[in-house]
Amino acid sequence: MKIFTTRFDIEQHLLQSRNAGKTIGFVPTMGALHQGHLSLISQARQHNDEIVCSIFVNPTQFNDPKDLEKYPRTIEADIKLLEQAGCDVLFNPPVNEIYGGNDHWRLDIGETEFLLEGKFRPGHYQGVMQVVYKLFSIVKPDDAFFGQKDYQQFLVISKMVDHFKMPVKLVMCPIMREPDGLAMSSRNVHLTTSDRLHALVLSRTLNWVRRNFNINDMLRLKSEAEQMIEAEEDVELDYFEIADGETLHPATERSKTIVALVAAKVGKTRLIDNVILTTDS
């Protein structure tokens, strides 16, 4: 696996790859890799000739400096995992290689930015769009792979790509879970043993909603799901929504895709999860 830390070097390398007729698959990450990330590498391998992963803890998407400070950084272990997964290129730039200090960014994508996660993390999605735009401009991938766990993020990035008419196909990959159902997340390392058990209420509730889903009974399902989570010790619910998969507004019988999304603080760690309930795509 080749490792690049500067924009110039990776751009030169990938230019040679494209000139050789290779397609580029891209998996942008913030490191602290787990099997969920590696599943994205595997998906990319099935679709593209050369696989690029970026590891960059993006400061502009953290609205809490303490959250940025404590975000896990495990670059040596990450490199080993990427090599084992068959990744071809790692882009691991310092902050000053991505941001010049005079960056100004504000992209209006409508209300998607402000719903659900956007309410609790103001400015977060502006930072996400900013860094993904920069990374796409550097890597120029044919396909880019993201996890379903960050469902709203995928919608936001899709709107950004449409706005700039960027020639990249976005691919949403299924959530990877631990054997007990907990959605894999870099933040799981912060869970205590007790937190870990309490966190299972999220996937347990989502599965209950999926099993009992009835399009004519969504308000009751939402209410009961909220009660199930709020009854769990050391779990503070931010939101539980049964939403239209395109708008993130509460779902209706006209919604083509319906998604149940949840966010909660378990102990001191904030977790998100979701499950797709219906889709006609």
Contact 26, 141 (CB under 8 A): yes
If you count DSSP H runs as helices and E runs as strands, how many of each does the chain have, helices first?
10, 9
CA-wise closest residue to 23 among 171, 133, 125, 159: 171
Look up tokens 């590498």; give the residue: 41
Phi, psi of 47 (to 5 degrees): -115, -20
The 10 Å Cβ neighbour count of residue 8 is: 10
Determine which helix (DSSP H) or strand (DSSP E) holds 235, and give its type and residue range. strand 235-244
As a residue count, the chain comes to: 281
Is 37 considered catalytic here?
yes
Active-site position among 13, 34, 37, 198: 37
Q: Positive or negative CA dihedral for 241, 244, 249, 252? A: negative
Catalytic residues: 37
